């Protein structure tokens, strides 16, 4: 059975024989084989509207009640592939008396957006889940690891709890000079918003250095904020900490107001989403790009030094693709690299499978383990390996470490995981 195929339903176990009472005569009738299932007794229960009434009071969460049970959302929900999930199933649970605010299901949604893409009633989990989580937070119902991330973000301005003074430490080994605006102020074309995982995570730092070398070679006028940078906070918002997000928006925009730049470019699709969708709602408009969108139009200017003999497959980040409609810029870059063969996975582009890191999922792997048969990243890595590719290529800072862990835990250690920028850097003769 192909990994990327549809979910396999459980094998139905039929009783040999069943006896049912005729509803007309009351006489006992024996029925054989598959027909028995239709006559198994069911308990029908009436439930009140309390669960939906509670949600309807939360701005954004009212649409769960609009579900009319068509079931389109279930086959596209990545969590349902490894468990029992999706808006329709949550709707039914609330309908039958579950309190979503205290139910573990509240924390399983990765806000990937695939259900909203297909839902005829526009049941919007991207609004429902953060609103319900915010209410759960005020009731003290929050997984411990998420609380920890909120506290680190509040204290240090990044989800990893790292020292803000070390934000720009990665630049030291980049091999090219990186302008840090607080030290070298003045107008700049591109303000590069590095975000947490490229600033601090060892694998993210490698990608950041690769970007620095590529940007330098392309003569891009760019600079970073260094220790003045704080996370843009989109994942914390989706995880339910709207208050923290609002505070970050104030801090970030106050810092940005000090500098003169034309565009903000970030490698983080979550940060990018915040800049194009959430900051404008709060009165802050920017010309924001994902780094693949900055580089794709410049691809003809790249001087390639060598061919890379890799067969790769590409994972669409939910917040670059489905949420913001960008599927082509990463592929333009991948296809431009000499020697690379790109093989698409069955689930790609609009129907791309989620890595599990969105909506706070990045920090909830320990929690979700109890409610899913495997991590979403593990499922995705098996789909990637099935293409026969020897490399899984990504362009989201969350994904390199997630997929590298998953490749090891699923016995696919032969599958390398690299960011697109690392491949460009290598093919330009800088690294690798």
Distance CA 283, CA 218 (A): 33
For residue 263, the minimal CB distance to ligand SF4 (Å) is 30
Region from 105-113, 229-237, 293-301, 343-351 binding ligand SF4, contact rule CB under 6 A: 105-113
Name which of 5 and 388 has its Cβ closer to ligand SF4.
Answer: 5
262 and 190 Cβ atoms separated by less than 8 Å: yes
Reading the block at residue 223, the tokens are 């600079």
Name which of 76 and 131 has its Cβ closer to ligand SF4.
Answer: 76
Angle between helices 420-427 and 202-217 (to 10 degrees): 50
Name which of 223 and 376 has its Cβ closer to ligand SF4.
Answer: 376
Name which of 49 and 71 has its Cβ closer to ligand SF4.
Answer: 71
Rounded to 5 degrees, what are φ and ψ at 414? -70, -20
- How many residues sit close enough to ligand SF4 to count as binding (CB under 6 A)? 29
Reading the block at residue 418, the tokens are 């690299």
For residue 214, the minimal CB distance to ligand SF4 (Å) is 33
Name which of 61 and 194 has its Cβ closer to ligand SF4.
Answer: 61
Distance CA 100, CA 113 (A): 19
Q: Is 69 in the site for ligand SF4 (CB under 6 A)?
A: yes
> What is the contact mask toward ligand SF4 in residues 70 to 89, using x (rule: CB under 6 A)?
xxxx--xxxx-----xxxx-
Q: Is 104 in the site for ligand SF4 (CB under 6 A)?
A: no
Region from 66-74, 211-219, 386-394, 420-428 binding ligand SF4, contact rule CB under 6 A: 66-74
Three-state SS at 195 = helix
Q: Is 109 in the site for ligand SF4 (CB under 6 A)?
A: yes
Reading the block at residue 181, the tokens are 């605006």
Rounded to 5 degrees, what are φ and ψ at 428? -85, 0
Q: Is 94 in the site for ligand SF4 (CB under 6 A)?
A: no
| First-to-last C-alpha distance (Å) of the chain | 36
Name which of 201 and 323 has its Cβ closer to ligand SF4.
Answer: 323
Question: Residue from 65, 83, 94, 110 that binds ligand SF4 (CB under 6 A)?
Answer: 110
Rounded to 5 degrees, what are φ and ψ at 19? -120, 125
Distance CA 355, CA 56 (A): 30
> What is the contact mask toward ligand SF4 in residues 356 to 395, using x (rule: CB under 6 A)?
----------------------------------------
**Strand 28-32 relative to strand 17-21: parallel, antiparallel, unpaired?**
antiparallel
Reading the block at residue 207, the tokens are 């990608």
For residue 101, the minimal CB distance to ligand SF4 (Å) is 16
- Closest by CA to 342, choosing from 305, 315, 369, 360, is 315
3-state percent helix, strand, coil for the chain, nearest multiple of 5: 45, 10, 45
Name which of 9 and 283 has its Cβ closer to ligand SF4.
Answer: 9
How many Cα atoms occupy the beta-carbon half-sphere of 271 within 13 Å? 28
Region from 42-50, 119-127, 203-211, 277-285 binding ligand SF4, contact rule CB under 6 A: 119-127
Question: Residue from 56, 93, 99, 121 that binds ligand SF4 (CB under 6 A)?
Answer: 121
Name which of 107 and 170 has its Cβ closer to ligand SF4.
Answer: 107
Which residues would be at the binding site for ligand SF4 (CB under 6 A)? 67-73, 76-79, 85-88, 91, 109-115, 118-121, 123, 125
């Amino acid at each position: 059975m192909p990994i990327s195929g549809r979910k396999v339903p459980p094998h139905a176990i039929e009783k040999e024989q069943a006896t049912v009472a005729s509803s007309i005569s009351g006489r006992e009738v024996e029925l054989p084989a598959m027909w028995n299932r239709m006559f198994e007794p069911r308990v029908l229960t009436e439930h009140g509207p309390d669960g939906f009434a509670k949600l309807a009071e939360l701005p954004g969460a009212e649409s769960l009640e609009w579900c009319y049970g068509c079931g389109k959302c279930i086959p596209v929900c990545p969590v349902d592939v490894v468990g029992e999930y999706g808006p329709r199933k949550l709707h039914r649970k609330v309908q039958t008396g579950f309190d979503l605010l205290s139910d573990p299901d509240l924390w399983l949604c990765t806000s990937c957006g695939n259900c909203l893409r297909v839902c005829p009633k526009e049941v919007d989990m991207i609004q429902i889940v953060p609103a319900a989580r915010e209410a759960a937070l005020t009731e003290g119902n929050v997984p411990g690891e998420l609380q920890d991330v909120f506290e680190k973000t509040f204290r240090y301005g990044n989800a990893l709890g790292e020292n803000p003074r070390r934000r720009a430490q990665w630049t030291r080994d980049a091999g090219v000079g990186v302008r840090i605006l607080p030290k070298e102020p003045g107008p700049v074309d591109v303000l590069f918003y590095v975000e947490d995982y490229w600033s601090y995570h060892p694998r993210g730092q490698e990608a950041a250095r690769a970007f620095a070398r590529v940007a330098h070679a392309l003569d891009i006028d760019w600079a970073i904020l260094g220790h003045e940078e704080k996370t843009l906070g989109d994942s914390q918002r989706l995880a339910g900490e709207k208050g923290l997000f609002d505070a970050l928006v104030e801090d970030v925009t106050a810092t940005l107001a000090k500098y003169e730049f034309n565009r903000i470019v970030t490698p983080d699709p979550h940060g990018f989403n915040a800049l194009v969708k959430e900051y404008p709602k709060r009165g802050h408009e920017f010309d924001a790009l994902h780094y693949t969108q900055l580089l794709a139009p410049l691809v003809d200017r790249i001087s390639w030094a060598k061919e890379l003999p890799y067969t790769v497959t590409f994972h669409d980040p939910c917040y670059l693709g489905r949420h913001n409609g960008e599927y082509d810029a990463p592929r333009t870059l991948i296809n431009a690299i000499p020697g690379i063969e790109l093989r698409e996975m069955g689930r790609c582009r609009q129907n791309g499978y989620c890595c599990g890191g969105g909506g706070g999922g990045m920090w909830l792997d320990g929690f979700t383990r109890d409610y899913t048969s495997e991590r979403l990243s593990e499922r995705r890595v098996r789909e990637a390996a099935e293409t026969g590719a020897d490399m899984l290529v990504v362009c989201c800072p969350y994904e390199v470490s997630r997929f590298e862990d998953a490749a090891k835990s699923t016995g696919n250690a032969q599958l390398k995981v690299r960011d697109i920028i690392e491949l460009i850097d290598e093919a330009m003769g800088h690294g690798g």
